[in-house]
């Protein structure tokens, strides 16, 4: 009986010892795409949390008291930066634990909005202008849509987690390697899928996809509203409808969950298909493969509409 009791005590002690050396690192990300990257790095260890619920705007989210408490208490917090989540800086001022604005990471390929409401590549991270209406010269903060940037973000997360949780450091590094390998395979699949529609014109309601387009040789033919929350004026609507008439068969993409009120007016009587591109992947499960699923769905939805014309 005493031997059985001794074995039981040894088992409990070893269990407690294992628990004591494995840090319970709580990770919070501002938006779903960052959660998906973190989920790949933390796979098999923990599941990261996300601040914004599906369908919420990262530009104008209103924090609840429970959100503020969460922001203050988690061990590691990752957000895009003030060019995206304008509601966060004030709350982060009171945070003492590490917070990472990923738009400031070395090695990231940033784009800035140009005078023609398109973007051009610029590796200068020194701009301190923060604007959600996509004014010329401001940072295009939709940087997660570049697989190259996702690799940089994942590497930073793996480094941070390895330091905070040394017991699982090898797991984080192994997960990072697997993530990069899966991105290689996904990148090849998407390039093959999108090659056939690279020359086809299409239009977007919100200039959010330049990073993705640049990576896969695509380019939208026009933007109806440079920011998702800004409704274009009557003159701009008339000009864009004229462009749609000139192009002929094409696709116009909005972002879920809401289709702009002007969508039906813009395309009425024209050979134009309305479809959606989800840049945030709000309902994508937070699994190791979630980030690839977000990008592949984006590519497949875009190609599917253009191939159906």
Q: pLDDT for 241-291, tens place per residue?
A: 999 999 999 999 999 988 888 888 889 999 999 999 999 999 999 999 999
Over range 129-148, report the average pLDDT.
Answer: 76
Q: In sequence order, what are the beta bridge partners of 214?
A: none
pLDDT at 179: 98
Contact between 78 and 95 under an 8 Å Cβ cutoff? The reply is no
Name the pTM for this structure.
0.86
pLDDT at 173: 98
- How far apart CA 24 and CA 3 sit, in angstroms, is 33
pLDDT at 133: 54
- How far apart CA 55 and CA 60 sit, in angstroms, is 12
Lowest average pLDDT, out of 67-76, 90-99, 150-159, 257-266, goes to: 257-266
Pull the structure tokens for residue 286: 């937070």
Phi–psi pair at 142, nearest 5 degrees: -80, 45
Residue 5 has pLDDT above 60, yes or no: no
Determine the distance from the C-alpha atom of residue 114 to the mean position of all C-alpha atoms in its chain, rounded to a whole number: 21
- How far apart CA 151 and CA 146 sit, in angstroms, is 9
pLDDT at 276: 96
Residue 132 has pLDDT above 50, yes or no: no
pLDDT at 23: 60
Confidence of residue 215 (pLDDT cuts 50, 70, 90): very high
Lowest average pLDDT, out of 11-15, 154-158, 246-250, 299-303, goes to: 11-15
Q: In sequence order, what are the beta bridge partners of 251?
A: 202, 273
Query: 196: Cβ–Cβ under 8 A, 6 or more apart, which residues?
Result: 303, 307
Instruction: Report the share of the chain in percent with pLDDT over 70.
Output: 83
Q: In 3-state terms, what secondary structure has residue 253?
A: strand
Lowest average pLDDT, out of 8-22, 106-120, 257-271, goes to: 8-22
Q: Report the range out of 12-21, 227-236, 256-265 with the highest average pLDDT.
A: 256-265
Contact between 151 and 90 under an 8 Å Cβ cutoff? The reply is no
Lowest average pLDDT, out of 109-123, 232-246, 277-291, goes to: 109-123
H helix count then E strand count, the chain: 10, 11
Contact between 258 and 282 under an 8 Å Cβ cutoff? The reply is no
| More reliable by pLDDT, 151 or 131 | 151
Name the average pLDDT for the chain: 87
Over range 87-108, report the average pLDDT.
Answer: 95
Pull the structure tokens for residue 180: 């990069």
Confidence of residue 3 (pLDDT cuts 50, 70, 90): low
pLDDT at 138: 84
Residue 120 has pLDDT above 70, yes or no: no
Lowest average pLDDT, out of 4-18, 44-58, 161-175, goes to: 4-18
């Amino acid at each position: 009986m005493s031997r059985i009791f001794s074995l039981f005590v040894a088992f409990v002690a070893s269990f407690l010892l294992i628990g004591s050396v494995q840090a319970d690192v709580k990770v919070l990300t501002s938006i779903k795409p960052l959660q998906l990257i973190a989920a790949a790095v933390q796979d098999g260890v923990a599941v990261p949390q996300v601040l914004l619920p599906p369908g919420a705007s990262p530009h104008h989210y209103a924090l609840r008291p429970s959100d503020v408490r969460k922001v203050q208490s988690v061990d590691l917090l990752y957000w895009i930066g003030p060019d995206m989540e304008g509601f966060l800086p004030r709350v982060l001022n009171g945070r003492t634990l590490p917070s990472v604005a990923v738009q400031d990471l070395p090695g990231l390929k940033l784009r800035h909005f140009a005078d023609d409401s398109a973007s051009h590549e610029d590796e200068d991270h020194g701009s301190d202008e923060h604007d959600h209406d996509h004014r010329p010269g401001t940072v295009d903060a939709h940087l997660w849509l570049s697989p190259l940037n996702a690799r940089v973000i994942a590497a930073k997360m793996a480094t941070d987690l390895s330091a905070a949780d040394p017991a699982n450091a090898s797991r984080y590094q192994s997960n990072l390697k697997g993530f990069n390998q899966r991105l290689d395979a996904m990148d090849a699949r998407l390039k093959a899928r999108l090659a056939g529609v690279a020359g086809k014109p299409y239009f977007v309601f919100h200039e959010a996809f330049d990073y993705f387009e640049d990576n896969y040789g695509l380019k939208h033919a026009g933007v109806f509203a440079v920011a998702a929350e800004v409704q274009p004026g009557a003159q701009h609507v008339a000009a864009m409808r004229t462009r749609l008439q000139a192009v002929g068969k094409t696709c116009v993409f909005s972002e879920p969950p809401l289709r702009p009120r002007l969508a039906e007016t813009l395309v009425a009587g024209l050979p134009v298909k309305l479809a959606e591109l989800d840049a945030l992947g709000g309902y994508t499960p937070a699994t190791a493969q979630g980030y690839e699923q977000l990008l592949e769905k984006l590519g497949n939805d875009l190609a599917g509409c253009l191939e159906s014309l």
